[in-house]
Amino acid sequence: MAKNSKPLLILVDGSSYLYRAFHALPSLTNSKGAPTGAVLGVTNMLNRLFQDYQTRNIAIVFDAKGPTFRHEQYDQYKANRPPMPDELRSQIEQIHTIVRALGLPLLSIPGVEADDVIGTLAIQAREAGMKIVVSTGDKDLAQLVNDDVKLEDTMKNSVMDTDAVLEKFGVRPDQIIDYLGLVGDTSDNIPGVPKVGPKTASKWLNKYDTIDGLIENAEAIKGKVGESLRKHIDQLRLSQELATIKLDVPLDVKPEELQVGTADYGLLQTLYTELEFKSLLRSLPESEDVPVEAGVEVPETRYETVLTKKDFSAWMDKLKGAEKFAFDTETTSLNYMKAEIVGVSFCVETGVAAYVPVAHSYMDAPAQLDRDFVLGELKPLLEDAHVAKIGHHLKYDAHVLRNYAIELRGIEYDTMLESYVLNSTATRHDMDSVAKRYLGVETIHYEDVAGKGAKQITFDQVSLDTAGPYAAEDADITLRLHEELWPRLEVVDELVQIYENIERPLVPILIDMEHNGVLLDIEMLNDLSVEFASIMQKLETEAFNAAGQEFNLGSPKQLQEILFEKQGLPVIRKTPKGQPSTAEDVLVELALDYPLPQLILDYRSLSKLKSTYTDKLPMQADPDTNRVHTSYHQAVAATGRLSSSNPNLQNIPIRSTQGRRIRQAFIAPKGYTLL
């Protein structure tokens, strides 16, 4: 069972919460006549975040008082926005106090907007290896979206990833700044280009890619809208600057330091009493020292490690007499094609579970039941479609069993999919996260029993003293999760339909797809690697000549020195540490006027194709069949689409000539055709 993921950071656009809560709720007051609607709305929105996401990394970011650097760039910035209503202004300090009392980090930086602080933290967090969810209703923040950064709109219960940005605006996230520069923003009084609306902006950017490309071709655009564009190019540039989120705000805190602290429940009780928030008062624990993410007490458990045929037979009788049971495998690898079964666990009633080890091979490991014997006994039961199986990510277990000629049937309830269907916008559906969210249980983590990083051992080397409780707990928690999640699904017929008619029937199809794999022309990929290496060598020589010296083309530091110190090229943007950026979009802009950046871009492009595809794909293929076996993930994208990993077969390049040649290496066997 896979239990790996990047740490998650939640960045809350507090200013967006503030205005949306104020306008969404009626004009609420307490018995003294003091306005309370915005405070209640923001507090409820934050509490919902705690329910949806189980992470200790979070920050609430508000706009600071006073003008920002954008007002210096353009004195009419936000000039048409009416002043903040007094009934909202009077609630801000109370909201800040509640945020701090909840133990949440609060940031408000003078001279910049909340968007700029969020953008800076998102960049820094991504560099630190984190995933980021920005909770906001502000469309400007769509420019931050990438593989690691998503936007969540709590009021609309929607999550915006790169696909959703494209679907909503008709442009990619990296084009949003140019899009906003063209259409403007009435709420911020960003002028944009008169007569240019969203459809025109997206059409132009799809054709010319960037504002620079558009301006180069401005003469070719006909009609009144073309005249307006040519007349307002300076205004367009200004609008583009105003719409650009600053990514290098100096901050005193690092993303990984933004963590939930201990809540001050005494202060919260005082505030909620004064504000007359009765339901929030009832939600407070009696103790004043309970952390925000406190879980419920774990019930008493009876976990058994089965080492004898007599005990195994007793458990087989239990399983045969049950209409359904929870099941899990422990293996040597996350690679389902190579994983070997180390043990199996079961649970028929909550709190009572067993682990049957069959291949723990550490020194002095006790005698265990023979794997072939155990699987042979289980085979009729596991292949019986009339006996319902409950598991968490059963697709993986089905793969592993197939390696032992067992076809898992009766896949009735998968708690990973139940969690996903119930709330697809929750960012993680692994067992540890789901158990914490819905059961309040801190489970035993894989790292707790097998270690971390380079020192991590395979499960067959884990002592049965620790392996037994860990594996049995997996089966027990799976059953408990099903008993918690399924009743929640059952009350919404549409969700049951999605689970039973879409997600569950898809599992056996994906198992077949993954197990069959995709055939590669390995010889073609090897030839492309040699060809790409030759071209890269030529590009490297040309880059050395253009630079006047040899340097490491893959080193941003050396590239900074060559481009900006030695050659004196203009600095387009700086990194969070204040260094000139050598990011791809910066080099693309510089390449319009200078030869070396284009050589670097060409080299980088080929280097990525070579390392990611032509070198790596042959290594990922089965040496006997030349097939690669990806994993398709059902419980990832909020939109319901599949994602693919190891390797990712959904982003094989297509735009460049070389990318299309890599696609030609995906072939059909004799007598078949790819469509």
Counting beta carbons within 10 angstroms of the beta carbon of residue 47, is it exposed (0 to 12), middle (13 to 18) or buried (19 or more)? middle
SS (H, E, C) 246-295: CCCCCCCCCHHHCECCCCCHHHHHHHHHHHCCHHHHHHCCCCCCCCCCCC
Query: Across-strand partners of 107?
Result: 61
More confident residue, 65 or 387: 387
176-183 vs 162-169: helix axis angle to the nearest 10? 20
**Average pLDDT of 380-390?**
96
Asked whether the predicted pLDDT for residue 521 surpasses 80, the reply is yes
Where do the DSSP E strands lie in 372-517? 388-391, 411-414
Tell me the C-alpha distance between 251 and 121, whole Å: 9
Contact call for residues 563 and 582 (beta carbons, < 8 A): yes
* pLDDT band, very low/low/confident/very high, at 288 (cuts 50, 70, 90): very low
**pLDDT level of residue 295 (50, 70, 90 thresholds):** very low
Check whether 294 has a pLDDT greater than 50: no
pLDDT score for 287: 39
Cis-peptide, bond into residue 647, ω within 30° of zero:
yes
pLDDT range class, residue 3, cuts 50, 70, 90: very low
The answer to whether the Cα torsion of 654, 554, 550, 531 is positive or negative is negative
> What average pLDDT is seen over the chain?
89
Out of 83-87, 156-160, 404-408, 491-495, least confident range:
156-160
2 pLDDT more than 60: no
In this structure, which long-range contacts are made by residues 487-491, counting pairs with CB atoms below 8 Å and at least 24 apart in sequence?
488/422, 489/418, 489/421, 489/422
**Residue for token digits 């740490």?**
7
- Can you give the pLDDT at residue 151? 94
What is the pLDDT at residue 349? Answer: 94
- Contact between 120 and 34 under an 8 Å Cβ cutoff? The reply is no
- Residues 484-510 have pLDDT tens digits of 999 989 888 888 999 999 999 999 999
pLDDT at 297: 42
For the whole model, what pTM was predicted? 0.57
Residue 286 pLDDT: 57
> How confident is the model at residue 572, as a pLDDT?
86
The answer to whether residue 298 scores a pLDDT higher than 60 is no
pLDDT at 296 over 60: no
Q: How do residues 12-45 score in pLDDT, each as one tens digit? A: 999 888 888 887 666 778 888 888 888 988 988 8
pLDDT tens per residue, range 300-349: 789 999 999 999 999 999 999 999 999 999 999 999 999 999 999 999 99
Q: Is the pLDDT of residue 599 over 90?
A: yes
| Confidence at residue 25, expressed as pLDDT on a 0 to 100 scale | 63
Please check whether residue 390 is in contact with residue 478, taking contact to mean a CB–CB distance below 8 angstroms. yes
Model confidence at 544: pLDDT above 90: yes
Mean pLDDT (whole number) for 592-619: 93
Phi and psi, residue 118, nearest 5° = -65, -45
User: For residue 187, is pLDDT > 80?
Assistant: no
Backbone angles phi, psi at 292, to 5 degrees: -55, -40
What is the percent of the chain with per-residue pLDDT over 70, rounded to a whole number? 95
Strands (E), 503-552: 518-519
**Overall average pLDDT of the 178-207 stretch:** 90
CA angle 49, 53, 55 (to 5 degrees): 115
- Residue 87 belongs to what H/E stretch? helix 86-101
Q: pLDDT above 90 covers what percent of the chain? A: 61
pLDDT band, very low/low/confident/very high, at 5 (cuts 50, 70, 90): low
Provide the pLDDT confidence category of residue 48 given band limits of 50, 70 and 90.
Answer: confident
More confident residue, 45 or 96: 96
Q: For 397-452, how does the pLDDT look when each residue is reduced to its tens digit (9 = 90+)? A: 999 999 999 999 999 999 999 999 988 776 689 999 899 888 888 898 898 888 88
pLDDT at 427: 60
